[in-house]
Structure formats: structure tokens, C-alpha cells
Amino acid sequence: MAKKNIYQVADWNGQSGARWVANQARLDAMVAVFGEAAIEAVAPAPGERVLDIGCGAGASSLALAARVGAEGQVLGVDISEPLIGRARALAPPDTPVLFQLADASSAALPEGAFDILFSRFGVMFFDDPAEAFAHMRGALRPGGRVAFVCWRGMAENDWVRLPMGAIKDIVPPPAPPDPEAPGPFSFADKGRVARILTAAGFTDIAFTAFDASVPLGEGATRDAAIDDALKMALEVGPVSRALVDRPDDIRARASAEVRAVFAGLPGERSVMIKGAAWIVTARN
């Protein structure tokens, strides 16, 4: 059998991992509210054991640990060595959280040991998502709960749509990705996600649309916030990928257009932009 997730393992230990570590505080500020919505949906109780899939730098694992308390336990699993390293460095001592460097689709996980399977934007990257979720279900006790947050479509997510629209006349638009290929938008279609979870053996599958205006950039002044948002767009996400290896003059023109779009967005010492996600819940 071909080894799974080879590209994602390489990318999250290479360019994407390095960029996420470099922008960790910005990214955490941007996605925090989505993670909180998924945590609210699953309502972890004190003493519960939670498996946090694709935990990255661990912010959601720490938020979950605060909910389950000292009697509970959170295990964050991620394929990215730099991000697991950052998660371990950020976790205060005596927090009931452990981090494991492993591919969640095949990791050795204790059978039926968790009450909750959780993820903040970490489950859209599997080559074979139904097989991955079936494997992870093995770690969930009978009756255990699932909650994760994933992006809806690119067209609904202004943090992609607006900056990509700004550069469309400067760099050729990338070919539309295969909507089912592993990547941030591969769970946009809730019918597909329901099929994946059903095939993996889950029941009571439900979707709630969750929209939020989130800080793409922040700073001491509005100008500094716009620069911060621009820096983020040039380092992480689709604009950064569209500009890889482009000559300096093209990068400069594209940056100016993106900056102008960000300058038109609301925010005082921030640049607020709309994100659109699904909060998905299910049961074992």
C-alpha cells in the first residue's frame, strides 16, 4: 500500500510548518474564535479526555485543557515537528496536555481512551479522510463526541477572496484546485464531509455555519495593522503561494494592490476580515 500523506508530512515539516511557526501569534489571533465555537459545540466537562487532531502550535489543546482541568487530559497530535516543538514550548508547566508527533491517520493511539475527538482546522489534509477518521474513531470511547471546525468555500472566505481578487490582473490566477484534494478547503462541501464521517462509522452528524470577522493584522496604529496584515498575506496562504518565485517588480505591484484592499477593511488598530467555517459535530 502506498504510504499516505507524504506531501503533507513534507510540507508541514518544511515550508508550511516554518511559515506557521513564524506567524503563530498572528494565526492564533485570527482563528481563535473559530476554535472557541467548536469547543462550545462539544462542551468538554471537567475530567474528560480529549484528542486534538492536527493541533499545530497547541492553542486549541491549551484551551481544551483549561476546560477539562487537572482531572482531565488532552493529547495533541500533529505531523509537524516544528509546530509540535512550538506547542511544547508554549504549554505552561502542570497543564494536563501532552503533544505527540505522529500522523493522526495511522498513529498508535490507545483504544477507546478519549471522550472527545476535536480539531481546529487540522482534519482537511488526509489523503484518505474516511480511512483516517475510521482510525481516529478507534481511539474514541463508544458514545464519544466529535467536534471540529473547517473552512467553508474560498468564495465565502474574504481572507482568501479579497487578496486573491486584488492580484488577479498581476499574476495569472492559479488553476482551481481539485475540491477533494487535501488542503484547507477540502471540507467545504458538507455533503462530502457527511459521507466521510458516515463511512468512518460516526452518527448524529451535524453542521452549523459559523462566520466571524477576525483580525488579519494588528498593530499600535492602523497603518501598522495594515502592514501586519500584508506581511501575513505575503508569508502564509494563497497570496504567498501565488507570488512564490515571482520577480521583485511583480511582488511589489501585487503587494500594493493587496495593501489597498486591506486598507479598505474595518478595524481601528487591526484589519478585520470575514472568515466562514463549518462547526461539525458527530458521535461514535
Ligand X SMILES: C[S@@+](CC[C@H](N)C(=O)[O-])C[C@H]1O[C@@H](n2cnc3c(N)ncnc32)[C@H](O)[C@@H]1O
- If the CB atoms of residues 56 and 72 are measured against ligand X, the closer one turns out to be 56
Stretch that binds ligand X, among 98-106, 192-200, 201-209, 242-250 (CB under 6 A): 98-106
Q: Which of 26, 51, 56, 271 binds ligand X (CB under 6 A)?
A: 56
- If the CB atoms of residues 79 and 139 are measured against ligand X, the closer one turns out to be 79
Contact, 8 vs 79, CB < 8 A? Answer: yes
How far is it, in rounded angstroms, from Cα 31 to Cα 201? Answer: 29
Cell output for 245: 518565485
Task: Give the H or E element holding residue 158.
Answer: helix 158-166
Q: Which of 184, 186, 268 is nearest to 225 (CA)?
A: 268
Stretch that binds ligand X, among 99-107, 167-175, 245-253, 270-278 (CB under 6 A): 99-107
Cα-based distances in Å from 207 to 36, 134, 177: 16, 19, 24
Q: How far is the CB of 166 from ligand X (least distance, A)?
A: 23
SS (H, E, C) 30-66: HHHHHHHHHHHHHCCCCCCEEEEECCCCCHHHHHHHH
What string marks each residue from 1 to 40 as x (binds ligand X by CB under 6 A) or -?
----x--x---x--------------x---x---------
- If the CB atoms of residues 187 and 202 are measured against ligand X, the closer one turns out to be 187
Q: Does 79 bind ligand X (CB under 6 A)?
A: yes
Q: Which of 30, 55, 197, 225 binds ligand X (CB under 6 A)?
A: 55
Q: Which of 223, 218, 224 is nearest to 273 (CA)?
A: 218
Q: Which of 23, 60, 157, 255 binds ligand X (CB under 6 A)?
A: 60
Angle at which helices 222-235 and 248-263 cross, to 10°: 130
Stretch that binds ligand X, among 101-109, 110-118, 191-199, 229-237 (CB under 6 A): 101-109
Residues that bind ligand X (CB under 6 A): 5, 8, 12, 27, 31, 54-57, 59-60, 77-80, 83, 103-105, 120-122, 125-126
